[in-house]
Amino acid sequence: MNAESGFPVKPVYGPADVPAGAGADEPGQYPYTRGVYPTMYTKRPWTMRQYAGFGTAAESNARYHQLLAAGTMGLSVAFDLPTQMGYDSDDPIAHGEVGKVGVAIDSIDDMRLLFKDIPLDRVSTSMTINAPGSVLLLLYQLVAEEQGVPGTALQGTIQNDILKEYIARGTYIFPPKPSLRLVADTFAYCRAEIPKWNTISISGYHMAEAGASPAQEIAFTLANGIEYVRAAIAAGLAVDDFAPRLSFFFVARTTLLEEIAKFRAARRMWARIMRDEFGAKDPKSLMLRFHTQTAGVQLTAQQPEVNLIRVAIQALGAVAGGTQSLHTNSYDEALALPTEKSARLALRTQQVLAYESGLTGTVDPFAGSYAVEALTDAVEREATALIDRVFEYGSAVDAIEQGFQKGEIEASAYRIATEIDSGERVVVGVNRFTLDEEEKYEPLRVDPAIEAAQVARLARLREERDGPAVQDALKDLAKAAAGSVNVLPLMKDALRLRATVGEVCHTLRGVWGVHRPVERF
């Protein structure tokens, strides 16, 4: 049997398969194989952060209140595709996509509705947004200031990981170099204005969704992390001034032991990279802290209730692997947006693990396992070799521009698909244990009238605001983008005047251009 990463898995592991003293590292100490904190979940569980957002800001706000009432410890915002791509809801290119895969946010008016009656000084918020990540963060800060909450009190994360968009996901706007400049500007801005905010969540999740193996997932994610650190240092930041606010985002698959090993290997690798390559001194700069989401790509439309079991196993792997926060997918997400009931069941899965399983009673319970220690070493070897191949191109950006990571992921996806098609890799309900006739399921649907309502809101906004002042602010932003000063203060000025997300992004497009991908094959 082979692991998903490609190396063979032995039927039996023993002392000869692991180095002497394996698993004897102390939790909370370098190289953090056993966890970034000494006590991990023995004092408090991981943050249970459910990813949600659909339709209008008002509808999403209602769902957030439901999740908070059900025991969610942090919010995680899903944005619709036009918002992710920096287009307003009334842009012709947005037609048919408004509110479909997340919430439509066009301006400060929408952000204000999204967080109505939610105290932003007491809630940690994660926003899955990349190319326009800084724009949405500034809208969030402006709404917090309206609540009387200073930036120094805000806690949360923006994904802001543009490099993986070129590799796997595709919601990029600008070319790599100005995109990296925008990331570095965000690091500097947040250090001064929003110091508790995690300025980036370097993501392997979407690469895994595109077909990356566990070793590829952490290799390409850490390679991107190296690129971000280099960009920030080149912009004049000291490594220990920004590295403690870096965070990561990984998937949890059903291959339980390999996933536990993957998380342990990733922590160890990042600690060594930050210490040995960048000379980081602050222990927090060495700690790979990460959010996990269960594997959406492994959910099946066939017999969707079986996804409850898959999600429970995946969540177990994330917790046993030492995640800092976790989102559990709803069992019906392969069919449509999750219903209120299915979202609550997903959260209850985490709560059972936290309060009934006994997993929170001890730190890294798999430490010293011959199998897990050997798999941790194997994943690390495979991932390290891949990182070396990335930097043979010169940098992660150079490798991206040559299509290396994308090509490797596509080859892995093809291998897995072939194994499923042949029956070598079993997917319950798909290629074995199937039903002749599936039960009918009534999914949650997004009302198509949402787009018309959002377009009408934008029309009112453009009539009510001070148009000339907005245009002057956007001109100032364009000048800053053409130069070298930090663009975020100018963006904030424009957004405060009710400039839209699309207008800000179009202004930057006009200066920086847009990315055109190059196919490797």
What is the CATH number for 178?
3.20.20.240
Provide DSSP, 302-355.
SSGGGHHHHHHHHHHHHHHTT-SEEE---TTTTTSBPPHHHHHHHHHHHHHHHH
The pLDDT score that the predictor gives to residue 192 is 95
Considering the domain boundaries, does residue 355 fall inside one?
A: yes
The answer as to whether 422 is a domain residue is no
User: How many domains does the chain contain in total?
Assistant: 1
Quote the CA–CA distance of 312 and 289 in Å, as a whole number: 22
pLDDT-flagged residues of the chain (< 70): 441-445, 518-521
Whether 214 contacts 262, CB under 8 Å? yes
> Partners of 52 in the beta sheet?
77
Does residue 405 belong to any structural domain of this protein? no
Contact 128, 105 (CB under 8 A): no
Cα–Cα distance between 272 and 471 in angstroms, integer?
A: 48
Write out pLDDT tens, residues 345-395: 999 999 999 999 999 999 999 999 999 999 999 999 999 999 999 999 999
User: What CA–CA distance (Å, rounded) separates 59 from 53?
Assistant: 8
For residue 330, which of 347, 354, 352 has the smallest C-alpha distance?
347
pTM of the entire predicted model: 0.91
Show the domain range for 287: 15-360
Q: Closest Cα to residue 374, out of 9, 1, 6, 104?
A: 9
Whether 467 maps to a domain, the answer reads: no
Q: Does residue 294 contact residue 328 with C-beta atoms inside 8 Å? A: yes
**Residue 408 pLDDT:** 96
pLDDT of residue 71: 86
Mean pLDDT of the chain: 94
Residue 127 Cα distances to 27, 80, 159, 189, 505, angstroms? 29, 12, 6, 17, 18
Q: Are 98 and 85 in contact (CB under 8 A)?
A: no
**From CA 375, how far away is CA 379, in angstroms rounded?**
6
Rg (CA), the chain: 22
Predicted pLDDT at 444: 63
User: Is 392 inside any structural domain?
Assistant: no
Q: Is residue 270 part of a domain?
A: yes
Instruction: Tell me, yes or no, whether 433 lies in a domain.
Output: no
Q: Are 492 and 499 in contact (CB under 8 A)?
A: no
The answer to whether position 149 is within a domain reads: yes
| Rounded Cα–Cα distance for residues 138 and 144 (Å) | 10
